[in-house]
Amino acid sequence: MTDTTLPEQIAAQLRRDILRGKLPPDTAIKERDNASEMGVSRTPMREAIRILAKEGLVLLRPSRSPIVARPTVKEVYDQVVVLLTLEKLSGQIACKAATTADLDALFDIHERIAEAYDRVDSLDLFELDMEFHRKIALAAHNEALAVTHGDYLARLWRARYLSATMRRNRERVVTHHGAIMEALRARDPRAVDAALDQHLSNLAEDIAAAIEAENAGHQGEEPGAAGEKRKGDS
């Protein structure tokens, strides 16, 4: 690792800890403790936490340790509606703007997912899945769209992971991705829109259900459980 990329490397590790539940919602992220655990200084740790805060995974608090965010169902649902619109717009524009190299790179990710689906860790598979969708947005070659899509994808990272692990389905991922690829190679905006609609049609409801179930479990915790997570918070 180099000094210039260290905060991103730390943010990536913390992000995976959040997704895996090692750092569940409402957990305080203690800058000093986490820096010591990772063997880094507090400065890059602080910057990494800011990266996650920008993504919406972490909430910053004045004079207190930041905590892992616990979004409401309404917040997540609204964000998913926007993301779905961005996904479809990306696909439509990519039909005209994508280069052969763009489509080849996308197909390579599709093949990697298909080959690895039944044997890799769920988080590794999820990250490949998100890379596939990110590549579609980048293939549109529209910077404003790519940045906005990236922001919403990051903000919904954990919510989508929860949903993906609850409904892991090879056909939905591999077969649907194949249909999206065929439509993009045919440069057919209507076919791309239909393929994305089939792939993502239940995403908002699935993610909302996953968040609602998690939050319901949180409400059912014994009194003081959340407080234990924050014990010594400063």
Q: What is the pLDDT of residues 183-217, one digit of tens each?
A: 999 999 999 999 999 998 888 888 888 888 887 87
| pLDDT for res 4 | 60
| pLDDT for res 170 | 78
Between 53 and 223, name the one with better pLDDT.
53
Question: In 49-86, which positions are buried (b, 16+ CB within 10 angstroms) versus exposed (e)?
Answer: bebbbebbbbbeeeeebbbbbbbebeebbebbeebbeb
| pLDDT for res 232 | 41
DSSP string, 97-132: H--HHHHHHHHHHHHHHHHHTTTS-HHHHHHHHHHH
CA dihedral 110→112→115→119, nearest 10 degrees, is -120
| pLDDT for res 201 | 83
Between 221 and 234, name the one with better pLDDT.
221
| pLDDT digits 0-9 by tens, 147-180 | 999 999 988 888 888 888 877 777 778 999 999 9
| pLDDT for res 211 | 85
pTM value is 0.80
Cross-strand pairs, 68? 58
Token look-up 């899945």 returns: 129
Q: How confident is residue 226, by pLDDT bands cut at 50, 70 and 90? A: very low
| pLDDT for res 219 | 62
- With a cut of 70, say whether residue 45 has pLDDT above it: yes
| pLDDT digits 0-9 by tens, 98-144 | 999 999 999 999 999 999 888 888 889 999 999 999 999 999 999 99
Reference 52, options 23, 82, 86; nearest CA is 23
List the domains of the chain with CATH numbers.
7-70 (1.10.10.10), 73-211 (1.20.120.530)
Structure tokens of 232? 């010594």
| pLDDT for res 166 | 76
| pLDDT digits 0-9 by tens, 61-89 | 998 999 999 988 898 889 999 999 999 99
Using CB atoms within 10 A of its CB, is residue 10 exposed (0-12), middle (13-18) or buried (19+)?
buried
